[in-house]
Structure 1
Amino acid sequence: MPDFLQFSGKTFLVFGVANRKSVAWFIARTLEEQGARVIYSVRSESRKKSLETLLAGKPVFLCDVEQPEEVERLAAAIAAAGHGPLHGIVHSIAFANYSEGFKPFHETKRADFLQATAVSAFSLVEIARAFKPHFAPGASVVTIGISSLLVTPDNYGYMGPIKAALESCVRFLAKSFSVDSTVRFNAVGAGPLKTSASAGIPGYVESYLYAEKLTLRKKNLETQEVANVAAFLLSERSSGVNGTTVVVDAGLGSNYFDQEIIRLAMGARANRPTQA
């Protein structure tokens, strides 16, 4: 069927493009390829300058979501520029202060946890509230979460609980907005990806390669695969999906007892030197 996603003539706002590897960029590019008009929000003037080539000729606005008043200003600026109504928003924002390195979870500092929560999770609530008057009927809001909130990777630090908060916000926003609107909220629970953000996580390469062995196809996700699911959730074709996290992990979460992994793990155990 031609134009299945029906994005032609529609306008979307995308938060979180940092570079060509960003999930937000893959989603935005997919939307544009399907005929949508995309507005971009970036954190700072320096980030905007670094994206001059990538976003040349596209509408780009500044908004540091750590400052609540900036979200309200952004909504007003986009409306004043005549870019509404919005048919959807992509929230692909996350931040954690790991300047002191990774520590055991119980050593997490209050200030770091609250800052990361404000930027990575509560910003979705503030964005939804600020743009509520500017949504088109049936608009869709999509955020990027993680594939499992039950795992406890050592090198993910306190972001696990914060991603859990983000997923909960999705459900509560979906319920809250349903009282007087048809705007939908969903999350894409993405498995491990090759992004610039992930590259800064200590030990991520080993975790990424381990996760690849656990996928059913023995091949990790491509960022475009996550973008494809996000695009579907942003389209009216997903009108029956609301308050949900759609997991995109190539089967990783259901393959804990993979024979190859068991063999490798037990082999390593057998070869471990015994203590005197």
Structure 2
Amino acid sequence: MIDLKGKVAVVFGLANKRSIAWGIAQKLSEAGATLAICYQNERLQRDADELAADLPNTKTFRCDVSIDTDIDAVFEQLKAAYGKLDIIVHSIGFAPNIKNTVLQTAREDFRIAFDISAYSLVALARVAQPLMTDGGSILTLTYYGADKVFPNYNIMGPAKAALESIVRYLAADLGPSKIRVNAISAGPIKTLAARGISDFTSILTAVEQRAPLHRNVDQLEVGNAALFLSSDLASGITGEITFVDCGYNATGL
């Protein structure tokens, strides 16, 4: 059994009980970690507070990762509350007007998608590094649409591809500090973000039909993988993309 007692984990991107971030938070909490859950804005605060109340030793903090002063402020709060950090979970992705094809994507929409979905990991890692005094784990969430074209995933595909490259470069940058950086490529899950993808059910159906396990994953399965990658059992793993998609990525036709 993985034991994270004495470890402090910060989870960014929790929107509601369907969030992948929530599945990860539950598993880290079950392993004994002290949790800080970060939500984007006041509109999401009530859900975050209600969910946090179900987990022991859990506090909530507001942070909009597109605003540097918000990031600086929340890490000052985290430093005051915990002293040091051990685990950072980045479960964030957004693209405005995602229904537009890549060809139709406006310059400003491109900038926002890459800023929030990819650059935010850089911004968080840079401020987290000084507080991860004993090393630790930084983990983000990606999707197979970074490698292959999926209908209606559109500009999020290139944004996730950028995120995966950032994982590798951050792993190199932070390795001397004994901080590991990895990503989980989760199969499709009915999250709040997934609602913005047109005909999302067709992707769910395709995975169920073609994946070796002939089903889709759920948040807690992603949470189990995150727990492993956040623990000392994964001490030799960094710069990697780990698929948790019932084997779908391994299939052809």
Task: Please tell me the TM-score bracket, short chain as reference.
Answer: over 0.9
Tell me which of 116, 119, 123 is aligned to 2:120: 123
Other-structure match for 2:239: 243
Letter in 1 for 2:249: G
Task: Check conservation: 1:84, 1:135, Cα contact below 8 A.
Answer: no
Other-structure match for 1:58: 58
Deviations 1:138-194 (A, max 9, x none): 30000001135321123101000000010111110110112x410110000111112
Other-structure match for 1:233: 229
User: Where does structure 1 lack aligned partners over 5 or more consecutive residues?
Assistant: 258-276
Other-structure match for 2:182: 186
Other-structure match for 1:174: 171
Letter in 1 for 2:60: V
Percent same amino acid at aligned positions? Answer: 37
Task: Check conservation: 1:147, 1:249, Cα contact below 8 A.
Answer: no
Query: SS of the residue aligned with 2:190?
Result: coil
User: Where does structure 2 lack aligned partners over 5 or more consecutive residues?
Assistant: none
Task: Check conservation: 1:147, 1:248, Cα contact below 8 A.
Answer: no
- The 4+ residue runs of structure 1 with deviation greater than 4 A are none
Query: SS of the residue aligned with 2:177?
Result: coil
Other-structure match for 1:254: 250
Q: Cα 1:50–1:248, aligned 2, differ >3 Å: closer, same or farther?
A: closer
Q: What is the TM-score when the length of structure 2 is the normalising length?
A: 0.94
How far did residue 136 of structure 1 move? 3.6
Aligned partners of 2:110, 2:163: CA distance in 1, in Å?
13
Deviations 1:95-123 (A, max 9, x none): 1112xx62221110110111111111101
Query: SS of the residue aligned with 2:146?
Result: coil
Aligned partners of 2:123, 2:84: CA distance in 1, in Å?
18
How far did residue 70 of structure 1 move? 1.3
Q: What is the TM-score when the length of structure 1 is the normalising length?
A: 0.87
Matched positions, count:
250
For the pair shown, the structure with the greater C-alpha radius of gyration is 1
Q: Tell me which moved more, 129-138 or 87-96.
A: 129-138
Task: Check conservation: 1:11, 1:84, Cα contact below 8 A.
Answer: no
Other-structure match for 1:264: none
Aligned partners of 1:104, 1:36: CA distance in 2, in Å?
41
Cα RMSD, aligned residues only:
1.4
Other-structure match for 2:95: 96
**1:47-86 equivalent positions in 2, closer than 5 A:** 47-56=44-53, 58-81=58-81, 83-86=82-85
